[in-house]
Structure 1
Amino acid sequence: MNPGSVAVVVSDDVGVPSWDLYELSIPCTVFGKPQPDLAEPWYDLLLCGTGDPGHDGSPAATGLSVRTPYGLDDLVGADTVIVPSVPDACVEEGRPLPPELIAALRRAYDAGARMVSLCTGAFALAEAGLLDGRRATAHWMHTAQLAARYPKIQVDDSVLYVDDGDVLTSAGLTAGLDLCLHLVRRDLGAHVANQLARRMVVPAHRPGGQAQFIDLSVPAADEGSLGPVLDWARDRLHEPLTVQELAQRAAMSTRTFHRRLQAATGTTPHQWLLHQRLARAQSLLESTNLPVEKVGELSGLGTANNLRHHFLKQVGVSPSDYRRAFARTPEPTTKPQPPI
């Protein structure tokens, strides 16, 4: 399966502030380094500057220069277009974004590209009219400005990222990494995304609906103290686990367990279990030829109908379609019957 090309917009103002460089580095790290043992071919990464191709960003403005071999015209024809953070002045002071960038984004979308923003890159997609009537997000510090400036957008400041099919938006910093790994999961399957995340030493999958807000008043040790019970639960996903049972094993009241898991992971115990079971089902669909009914049983999602319901709601496709797209084992073949 060819995941296609990923064009990343590089602003002339990259590097001011320093986290712009971090958000630019995310798609470069995820999509720019070939992983031949995971998938072949890998993505084709294009760094597209807002100036002329080959132009160096101004060292006086940024303290460094970024040479981009591609220009905005190269956004058109890419399979995926990613806009990292836009300059702060465009967000805080309302300075106009380059009209040639906005026009190029519109042309890329009209040509069929999947459009993605990281953090304040949402302002560029919004200016291009690509978020009108859609649900979208950005870093919570900027969502009020996004909603006020573009009232046609359904701005959600409580999630890590929003997948609206052909247009995806994320909150800032690490949430951008979550969204990029989500794209790999969509394109190449859960196994590849999980292995890539492991190499990057980051969580394999944080669902987009997880909260941006984590209660930092809870000591960091709480997450570690939950580790043994969560590992225990992962080994028993096929069993009818209850929150009360998990809390008892963690030697906590149900209320305390719920609060501490929410603080550590940003999700409720029921949601955590559902996401773990879906991840197990994805792995089984990719790596085995087990019937869908058996996959539902082993993942703890129950019947085939229940598995299909959650898969369609959370993954967007049926289990059978997911297997056809990402199976790593050959489909079973029917042996010819001997002549009678």
Structure 2
Amino acid sequence: MFSRDIGIDLGTANVLIHVKGKGVVLNEPSVVAMDRNTGKVLEVGHAARRMVGRTPGNIEAIRPLKDGVIADFDVTEAMLKYFLERINVRGFFSKPRILVCCPTNITKVEQKAIREAAEKSGGKKIYLEEEPKVAAIGAGMDIFQPSGNMVIDLGGGTTDIAVLSMGDIVTASSIKMAGDKFDQSIIQYIKREYKLLIGDRTAEDIKINIATVFPDGRNEEMDIRGRDLVSGLPRTITVNSKEMNGALRESVALIVQAAKSVLERTPPELSADIIDRGAILTGGGALLNGLDQLLSEELKVPVLMADDPMQCVVKGTGMMLENIHKIAKD
């Protein structure tokens, strides 16, 4: 039994793993539930996510990645080890080669942390690739031609925007504004307007089910429950899509601004290509209602959502693993 090459999309919100020859074998939330007293890992992934905001004092549900980088090294290592053991990719004699994706502007120290966590969790050789490049490949773009391709990858912790040509990044920007910050904007809005405290899970449900960022994008209502900040008692309120549009306006404006700055720095010939081809939206955050329409209107270029945007990065790792000899120096 020999080990296989694996690709990991190590996301702030989710971890996705692609095994060469098998496809995507794992898609779990990046959450670890630990016992504070003993430091023991109790649950990882979906089971741990169900515990967020619902645990007694001695149990803590931790998200070890923040803004696309490792915030808690030991917990990240434990999480990766757990996932790799579960998919059983280690051979008797050899360890797998691992390709990990990371945001474009992370520091050397942050790169080293990702590399070490992957090594300690059972990898033999670790390759790092920039997220928007891998997302573009996973979305089916041919980035190896001398023509401009623009990708906007909205994850949980970071939004990576890049223009690619000849297989590499020409201009790029990575901002710490993405899915998690959208949730926080919703929490703050409801706290401010209704004096009601809601949790991260509720905010995410609102974002998925009724939120929109395009005027007249959708018009829906939802009942939500939380704790009244004045009386301290549980209370139910109804919120609608129009309110959520207002709550998310500032957050989305930052993404639009970052995309504009990337286009402003792009060579004119490549800009002309992008007007023809448009930009591709990838990542879980791309599913936010009306985002493609808003970006298209603001950037004056067509913006299309990739098929299955959540899996673009991990699918891209799979395609890169097929040609791992090109990135492997030895």
Tell me the TM-score normalized by structure 1. 0.26
Q: Which structure has more helix as a fraction of its residues?
A: 1
Tell me the TM-score normalized by structure 2. 0.27
Q: Which structure has more strand as a fraction of its residues?
A: 2
Question: Larger Cα Rg: Structure 1 or Structure 2?
Answer: 1
